[in-house]
Amino acid sequence: MFFLETVISGLLAGVMYALVALGFVLIFKASGVFNFAQGVMALFAGLTLVGLMTGTIPITHLTNDALAMPGWLAIIATIAIMMVLAFAIERLILRHLVNQEHIILFMSTLGLAYVLEGAGDILWGSDVKVLDLGLPQGASDWLLDNWGLYVEKIELVAALTAGILVAVLAVFFQKTRIGRALRAVADDHQAALSVGISLRTIWVIVWSVAGVVALVAGVMWGSKSGIQFSLSLIALKALPVLILGGFESIPGAIVGGLIIGVGEKLAEVYGGPIIGGAIENWFAYMLALAFLLFRPQGLFGEKIIERV
C-alpha cells in the first residue's frame, strides 16, 4: 500500500515535471533551442498572475485592492503579457542569433533566465506568494476513504490538465499548417526561410505557446506550494526529463517526466535510508546520465545518423 502511494505520488510529481518539460519540447521542436529560461518563465508567469490578482503595483510592492482582478481575468491578462514577452524575446534576442550554433542559443537563454529572474524579483519581490485560484485543495477524500490512498486533489487536476494540453499540442503540431512550419524551422532556419516561412512569426507563436504552457505549469506548481524562486530551478530538472523522453517528443516529455517522478520518489524512499537522504537532488541526473550512455536519443527520439 505504501509502495502504491509512493508510486502514485511519484507519477503526479512526474506530471508536474512533464508540464514544464512540455514548454521545453515546444521551443526545441520549433527553434532547435533548449530554452533554459522556461522554468523562470513559469515563475514569471506565476508572479504576474498573483500580482494581478492581488492588485500589487510593481516595484513598489504596494497592494491596491482597487487594481485587483478576479482570477479568470488575471489569467487572460497574464497570457497577454506572456505574448508580449514572447514578442520582445524574438525582437531583442532571437532575431539577432539566427543560424548560430546551438550552444550559443542555449547560453542566450541562460542569460534570458537571469534577466527574467532579476526582473521578476524587482517587479514583484522575492517572497513566497500564495496562489489561490480556487483549485481544489487537500487530499482526495474519495481515494482516501475507498482505497486508503493519500493523494492531493490538485495533483489530479494537474494530471488532467497536462493530458488535455498534450492532446491539443499534438494535434496542433501534426495537423495544422503552422505546426508543419514549426517543424521545418526546427530542422534548419535558413532552409525554412528560403521556402518563405517567416521565422519571426513562427518564433513569436512558439514562444507565446511556451509562455502559456509555462503559465499552466506555474499555476499548478504555485497552487501546490506557492510561487517561489525554486520554480526556476525546475529548468534544471527538465533536462533529465527531456533526455529520457527525447528532446523533440511531446509524449516523450510526459513519459520522461513520469519516469523521473516515480524514480526519484522510489529512490528517496527505498534508497534513502541506505545511502543517506536527499537523493532526490541528484538521482534524476544520474538516471539521465545512464540513459545518455545507452540510449542517447531517449525513449522516443530519433536516432541521429552523422554525415560527413
Partner 1 sequence: MFYREAGLFKTSYAADQAVFPIPQDRYFILGVLIIAYVAVPLLIEDYWLNAVMLPFLVYSLAALGLNLLTGYCGLLSLGTGGFLAVGAYTAYKMMTAFPGLDMIFVLLTSGTVTALVGLLFGLPSLRIKGFYVAVATLAAQFFLIWLFYKVGWFYNYNATGQITVTPGYSFGVLVTSQKAEPAAKYLFVLSVVVVFALIAKNIIRGRIGRMWMAVRDQDIAAELIGIRPFPTKLSAFAASSFFIGVAGAMIFANWLGAAESGETFGINESFLVLFMIIIGGLGSILGSFLGAGFMTLMPILLKNTLVDYFGLTAVFAKHMEIMMMGVLIVFFLIVEPNGLARLWQIVKEKLRLWPFPH
Binding residues for partner 1, per CB under 8 A?
34, 92-93, 96-97, 100, 102-104, 106-108, 110-119, 121-122, 126, 233, 236, 239-240, 243, 275-279, 281-282, 285-286, 288-289, 292-293, 296, 306, 308
Cβ proximity of 218 and 232 under 8 Å: no
Q: Are 36 and 106 in contact (CB under 8 A)?
A: yes
Cβ neighbors of 120 (< 8 A, separation 6 or more) are: 40, 43, 44, 47
197 or 288, CB closer to partner 1? Answer: 288
Give min distance, CB of 254 to partner 1, in A. Answer: 20
Q: CB-wise, 150 or 282, nearer to partner 1?
A: 282
- Name the minimum Å distance from CB 241 to partner 1: 11
Residue 28 or 221: the one with the smaller Cβ distance to partner 1 is: 28
> Which of 161, 297 has the CB closer to partner 1?
297
Handedness of CA 89, 87, 102, 283 (dihedral sign): positive
The 3-state DSSP class for residue 36 equals coil
- Quick one: CA dihedral 247, 249, 254, 255, positive or negative? negative
Q: Which is closer to partner 1, CB of 118 or CB of 136? A: 118
Closer of 65 and 101 to partner 1 (Cβ):
101
Q: Which residues pair with 62 in a beta bridge?
A: 57
Nearer residue to partner 1 within complex by CB, 106 or 172: 106
Could you tell me the three cell numbers for 205? 507563436
Q: Which residues contact 185 (CB under 8 A, 6 or more apart)?
A: 30, 31, 32, 192, 197, 199, 202, 203
Name the residue with cell 532547435.
32
Q: Crossing angle, helix 2-31 and helix 177-187, to 10 degrees?
A: 80
- Closest approach, Cβ 65 to partner 1, in A, equals 25
CB of 265 to partner 1, least distance (A): 17
Least Cβ distance, residue 214 to partner 1 (angstroms): 17
CB of 250 to partner 1, least distance (A): 20
Q: What is the largest CA-CA distance in the chain?
A: 64
Q: Least separation, in Å, of the C-beta of 13 and partner 1?
A: 17
